[in-house]
Amino acid sequence: MNLTSFTDYGLRMLMRMASAPDRAFSTADLAEEFKLSRNHLAKIMQRLAQADIVETRRGVNGGAVLRSSPAEIRLGDVVRLLEQGQSLVECFGPDGGDCSIDGCCRLKSRLRQAERQFIADLNRSTLADIALSEPAAA
């Protein structure tokens, strides 16, 4: 299984936010800390906001804050959200892909089960379990 960079970067942002759940984090600050594109992080933050995982605020004290306690945010749910639209294999896609053995394939059900177990295993952990330590003051 290979998670997309979209998911990787989203998890990094949430791990940092979980370290100080009451603090508003700007995408600019997160981009600087992780050496990533601010625009890319803004797209990820938008998806997280649409799913009510974060709340975004404008203005001088603006940024994004977690809408729930880090202990209430399950990792599998986050991965499922951020991987939305990404299929484990082509035949899992919305159009079913181009499969010459469709109808007699016994691999598909096993891969679906593995995918479900992967998400279920991640859901045994929360954002609180993987929160980053506060960075050292410069």
Q: What is the average pLDDT score of the chain?
A: 89
Q: Could you tell me the residue ranges of all domains in the chain?
A: 5-130
Largest CA distance in the chain: 60
What CATH topology corresponds to 5-130? Arc Repressor Mutant, subunit A (1.10.10)
Q: 54-57 and 63-66: which strand pairing?
A: antiparallel
pLDDT in tens, 94-131: 666 666 676 777 787 888 899 899 999 999 999 999 99
What's the Cα-to-Cα distance from 102 to each of 26, 87, 92, 94, 107, rounded to whole Å?
A: 47, 16, 11, 14, 10
Q: Which pTM was predicted?
A: 0.85
Q: 138 pLDDT exceeds 80? A: no
